[in-house]
Chain A
Amino acid sequence: MLINAKLKYSLQNRILFAIIYCFYSCSFIKQIKHFMPKQITPNPERWLDEHGDYLFRYAMFRLNDQALAEDIVQETFLSALKALDHFAGKSSERTWFVSILKNKIIDHYRKAGRQGKKVDLSFRDDDDSDDFQENGFWKLDRAPSDWGDTPEKAMEKKEFYEILQKCLELLPDRISQVFTLRQIDGIDSKKICKEFEISSSNLWVMLHRARSQLRRCLDINWFGLEEK
């Protein structure tokens, strides 16, 4: 009996303590928030000066269309203005802008897909089946050539990146979009499938096509030349 009463007492006590603690900590947090400075100030002029060129470059690299990139940078800042409250202050200003920009770019891809520009699921030209003989083995003239130890040297040269950029541009629109999102931005494949309304096997095929074409393009335009 005595033990039971003691137990009850301690339990009640504990609950009481917990409740008091909760209240106390809540008010404490409120106070801290009150004292904390505002994380980000809505100052579009400064944003534009500090991050404008960076964001523009980021967009240009992915969209390769000046007018479009300018518009998207503008939209990014406008959305940032509206969503100021959501900026958690965990990341830097720039990362925050970039994350908004990324979403804008995906939105753009999706819209472009809806407007009937959806192509390239049939993968017409330069089918990689051209690389193989009928029995499934490499055609000798289209097989990967020996790159030797040039890749490291190539990466130091500026011209090489121009060719890499050109090769990326040569990819069919849809494929290059998917490839950039997956490979460069590291976006989850499920999300890409959803946004582009394609099946996952479609995505694999597109990514494979992108890699194969990119490889072949570099093979011909850079490594092939160096040997000669």
Chain B
Amino acid sequence: MSKIAMKMNQILMAVMSRLTPSCDVITHKISESMDGKISLRDKLEIRIHLLGCKLCTRYRDQLLVIQDMLNKYTESVEHEQILTDVSLSETARERIRRNLGQGKNK
């Protein structure tokens, strides 16, 4: 009995997701939603579409994960946890020092 209900549910969700714009349009809207302003209608469409579309749900989740990763990545770059081998070379340092000395005297 519960199997039938589940099947019905699946079909219903699939129909719902077909009523909304297709995946290529929805992915655009998902991306826009990451930047903030989207209309209520778009929000609803995304919600409804995601109910029935596993792949787009994955897409949305992955975008969120990437956003999170990028934030962590930049944080650790700025807190000097990674990329520590990147530093000014001695020649560049010398050049900048020289030019700054001139700039100061002006």
- A→B interface (CB under 8 Å): 42, 44-45, 47-48, 52-54, 56-58, 60-61, 70, 73-74, 77-78, 81-82, 128-129, 131-132, 135-138, 143-147, 151, 154-155, 158, 161, 164-165, 182-184, 189, 204, 207-208, 211-212, 214-215, 218-219
Contact = CB atoms under 8 A, between A and B. Distances in A.
A74 B66 contact: no
B85 to A, nearest CB: 10
Contacts of B103: 44, 77-78, 81-82
Contacts of A77: 96, 100, 103
Nearest to A154: B69
Main SS class of interface, B: helix
B66 to A, nearest CB: 6
Contacts of A131: 24
Contacts of B92: 70
Given A44-B104, A57-B83, A78-B100, A184 B69 contact: no
Contact of A44 (B62, B65, B76, B97): B97
Secondary structure at the A interface, as helix, strand, loop or mixed, is helix
B88 A56 contact: yes
Contacts of A146: 58
Contacts of A137: 22-24
B15 interface: no
B40 interface: no
Closest A-B pairs by Cβ, 5 of them: A136-B22, A44-B100, A208-B31, A144-B58, A132-B24
Contacts of A204: 28, 31-32, 35
A211 B32 CA distance: 10
A48 B100 CA distance: 10
Interface string B69-85: 11111101110101100
Interface of B: 21-25, 27-28, 31-32, 34-35, 55-56, 58-59, 61-63, 65-74, 76-78, 80, 82-83, 86-89, 92-93, 95-97, 99-101, 103-104
Contacts of B74: 61, 184
A135 B96 contact: no
B93 A52 contact: yes
A61 B84 CA distance: 12
Contact of B70 (A70, A144, A183, A208): A183
Contacts of B65: 147, 151
B35 A184 contact: no
B72 A155 contact: yes
B8 to A, nearest CB: 22
